[in-house]
Amino acid sequence: MLSDTIKAIILGIVEGVTEFLPVSSTGHLLLVQHIFGLDGSGFWNTFNVLIQLGAILAILVIYFERLWRIALNMFSDPAAQRFVIGVLIAFLPAVAMGLLFGHWIKEKLFDPWVVCFSLIVGGAVLLWIDRLDLKPRFHDATTFSLPMYLGIGIAQCAAMIPGVSRSGASIVSAMLFGADKRSAAEFSFFLAIPTMVAAFAYDFYKNRAEMNTDHLAIVAIGFVVSFITAIIVVRTFLNFVTRNGFAFFAWWRVTVGVLGLIALALGK
């Protein structure tokens, strides 16, 4: 049997590797939890949400200078104001969906079978988008139109289904709206900041009574591991997709989904 510390390290690595790739971090975490026999564990489900903040901290570190400049100019520069408004517009649909359907989704859809099917379908979508002859009109994530920000935010709501991928939904929709691969990926990073901070705050507040010293130590381990792993992945991902597209991640999704279905079927 693996200790809780080892499980936290493995889950932290999985979170850091998959959070900003279009492969679904939630889906991968749920499948690894299933392998560990942690299905239905209230603490470990909360753990998955809490360690996402480590991945978000990686984005803040990598893009600190750019984000700091936007923050300083937010009240004097119309372009900075417009970007901040755009991120908020893109963030609001997920808030509404989470408040209205979050409990039902966690109760009904957080299932390994759903994850595997979603991974396969999402992989097919990535292959499709990668083969389209798109003509990008936007090359900077801070210059998208306001309707485009809203459209990306609405598309992101599909990622509430585990296995769909928040970053994948954001990237695919941004590209269909006219963004190039790099700016689409970067905006998915920026949109993750308010989305995941809100999810962290909500889950931590809701489950604060269950947290003891041992739980906090396990979360801290997963947080640090996900932070370090995410920094490495994000720095590599942008250059990779700019040169090679999303086919690798599409086949990754399909492979994991198919293997997961086989394992689930044999497990029965």
Mean pLDDT value across the chain:
90
Q: What whole-number distance in Å separates Cα of residue 197 and Cα of residue 218? A: 19
| Residues forming beta bridges with residue 179, ordered by sequence position | 138
pLDDT for 224? 95
- Return the pLDDT at 205: 78
Give this prediction's pTM: 0.90
Give the pLDDT score at 49.
82
Sequence-distant (6+) residues with CB within 8 A of 97 are 157, 160
The three-state secondary structure class of 41 is coil
Residues with Cβ within 8 Å of residue 59, at least 6 apart in sequence: 20, 189, 190, 192, 193, 230, 234
- pLDDT at position 204 is 77
pLDDT digits (tens, 9 = 90+) for 126-142: 999 989 999 999 999 99
Report the percent of the chain where pLDDT is more than 90.
Answer: 69
pLDDT band at 198 (very low <50, low <70, confident <90, very high): confident
Mean pLDDT of 28-44: 82
Which sequence spans correspond to the domains of the chain? 4-267
Nearest C-alpha neighbor of 167 from the set 194, 188, 195: 188
